[in-house]
Amino acid sequence: MKEDRLINLAKDVRRSIIEVACKSRSAHVGSALSCTDLLVALYFYQLKNLDVKNWKRRDIFILSKAHAAIALYAVLTKKGLITQGQFNRYFQNDGSLPAHLDRFDPQGRLRKGIEVSAGALGHGFNIAVGMSYGYKLRGDKRKVYCLIGDGESQEGSVWEGALFGAKLKVDNLTVLLDFNNLQGYGRPTQICHFMPIAAKWEAFGWQPYQVDGHDFREILDALQKPHRGKPKIIIAKTVKGKGVSFMENEMKWHYYMVTDELKEQALQKLCALIK
């Protein structure tokens, strides 16, 4: 079954995130694990034309919550768009992959696979709105996908884009909201009047769908759902640190580093994770 294949791929991706996070002693591991399944669903099922031959008309993915860049790098490595060697030197002195996204490499050349440089929250989303409108105007059939965070959704720019995305009727745009209900220093549902989030997007003129962000069947279903004349938003209920029990739903895993000891424990937890 396609879901089984994706589950196994997601397990590999999580393993490589833990390993590289340990090597680089970098933060945001929880944020990366929370959106891993969404990225795997996109890159190993949904996105079209990522092969060399069709690259020029590929679907576009923009990681707006770019502090989870390590998850995207892990997926792109598995896709062969980043080499294992490059990924191993993530976040390291003289490496080529920073902790947030840069579409140029250190030599200033455009990097394949990173569509948009991002890091500050509430940027990639608006670029995605502009891009999808651009492709629509050009009669280009490709689709644009964008992943945003729930903390990120407090940015005013997100709601500006929500107003105009609906007005521009960008029905070639699908936004995924990684709703793990944990941000830098608290829970979105406690920090602001976050809920009802689906109703908010619907009121802004978007077509919302709600899924379990770790259930591939639900994710794939939502990705196929129609949204004629409207942009789509998939609100994916997720768990920060998903897959490693001691990281799950823990705010500290927005920041903590994976020590060698913790890495072993984490990898064991991942192995035990069987659907």
Partner 1 sequence: MRNTVIDTITRQASLNKEIFIITGDAGFGVLDTFQERYPRRFLNLGVAEQNMIGCAAGLAMTGFKVVVYNIIPFLLYRCYEQVRNDICYQKLPVVLVGIGSGFTYAPQGITHYSVEDIVIARSLPNLIILSPADPLEAEKCAEFALNSRKPVYIRLAKSGETALHRRKPKRIDRPCVLKEGKGVAVLFHGSVGIEVMKATEDLQERPLVISLPMIQPLDFEMLRKSLKGVHTLITVEEHFAEGGLGSLVSECVVQERLRMSVKKLGIKNEFIHAVKNVSGMRRYYGINSDSIRRSIREGFRREK
Residues that bind partner 1 (CB under 8 A): 103-104, 115-120, 122-123, 125-135, 137-138, 140, 156-157, 160-161, 163-164, 168
Distance CA(213)–CA(224), nearest Å, equals 15
Nearer to partner 1, 122 or 208 (CB): 122
Query: What's the DSSP call for residue 45?
Result: I
Q: At what angle are helices 216-224 and 29-41 packed, to 10 degrees?
A: 60
Nearer to partner 1, 56 or 228 (CB): 56
Question: At closest approach, how far in Å is the CB of 233 from partner 1?
Answer: 16
Question: At closest approach, how far in Å is the CB of 216 from partner 1?
Answer: 29
Nearest to 184 by CA among 67, 69, 97, 99: 67
Nearest to 75 by CA among 10, 26, 146: 10
Instruction: Cite the beta strand spans of the chain per DSSP E.
Output: 60-63, 144-149, 173-179, 207-212, 232-237
Nearer to partner 1, 123 or 232 (CB): 123
Helices assigned H by DSSP within 174-214: 188-191, 197-203
Nearer to partner 1, 85 or 134 (CB): 134
Question: At closest approach, how far in Å is the CB of 99 from partner 1?
Answer: 15
Q: At what angle are helices 2-24 and 216-224 packed, to 10 degrees?
A: 110
Nearer to partner 1, 81 or 158 (CB): 158
Question: At closest approach, how far in Å is the CB of 235 from partner 1?
Answer: 21
Question: At closest approach, how far in Å is the CB of 164 from partner 1?
Answer: 6
